[in-house]
Amino acid sequence: MTGPLERRFPISGISLTDLDWQVRLHIYRRFTVDGRPPAYQETALALDIPPEAAREAYHRLHRAHQIFLDTSDDCVRMASPLSAVTTPYAVITNGRRLYANCAWDSLGIPAMLHADAVIESRYTHTGEPASYAVENGRLSGTGVVHFLLPFRRWYEDLVYT
C-alpha cells in the first residue's frame, strides 16, 4: 500500500515519494535553466539531503520511467522531452538551445515551457536541414514525421528508438 505522498506506477510497480518528486522537479528546473541536468551531488546540495539519498531518488525515478539514467555514471541522459546529449533536434527557446530526444519531444519542450520555439533538425533519410516552429501554441512548417515503432515499444531501446 502506498502512503499519502506516494504514487505507484503500474508499468514499473515503483512507488515515488514526495522527496522523489522534489528531486524530479529540481532536475527539470536546472535542466531548462542550465541546458544540462544536475548531477545527483548537485541535487543533494541544492535540496540539503545526503548525496546517497539523491542518488537513490535518481534511480527510483529511472525505474519509474520519470527520467532515464546512464547507469554507468548515474547521470541523467533524458528527462523527457529533454536530452542531455546533443541530438539532431535543437530547440531554440527563450534564448537557450535545448536538445530533444526525438521529433515528438521537440514539440514537448515548447509545450512544457509554455514558450515559442524554433526547432532545427535534419531529415534522417536525406540529411537535409529541416526547420519548424511553435508560435503561440501552434505548429508551423512543412514536413513529415514517421515513427518506426509504436509508443508502447519505445522503452525496448529508448536511446535508439
Residue bearing the bigger pLDDT, 144 or 110 = 110
Q: Dump pLDDT digits (tens) for 133-161.
A: 999 999 998 877 767 777 677 767 666 65
Query: What's the sign of the alpha-carbon dihedral 93, 99, 103, 108?
Result: negative
Q: Peptide bond before 50: cis, by omega within 30 degrees of 0?
A: no
Domain with CATH 1.10.10.10 in the chain: 7-77
- pLDDT for 55 beyond 70: yes
Average pLDDT for 80-89: 95
Specify the CATH architecture of the domain 83-143.
Super Roll (3.15)
- pLDDT at residue 152 in the model: 79
pLDDT at 1: 40
* Residue tagged 513529415 (cell numbers): 144
**Mean pLDDT (the chain, rounded):** 88
Q: Which residues pair with 70 in a beta bridge?
A: 75
The CATH code for residues 7-77 is 1.10.10.10
- What is the rounded radius of gyration, in angstroms, for the C-alpha atoms of the chain? 17
In this predicted structure, the answer to whether residue 103 has a pLDDT above a threshold of 70 is yes
Tell me, what's the pLDDT at 12? 59
Does 122 score more than 80 pLDDT? yes
Measured distance CA(57)–CA(20) in Å, rounded: 5
d(CA 18, CA 12): 18
Residue 14's pLDDT is what? Answer: 81
Residues of the chain with CATH 3.15.10.60: 83-143
Kind plus residue range of the DSSP H or E element containing 76: strand 75-79
Tens digits of per-residue pLDDT, 31-46?
Answer: 999 999 999 999 999 9
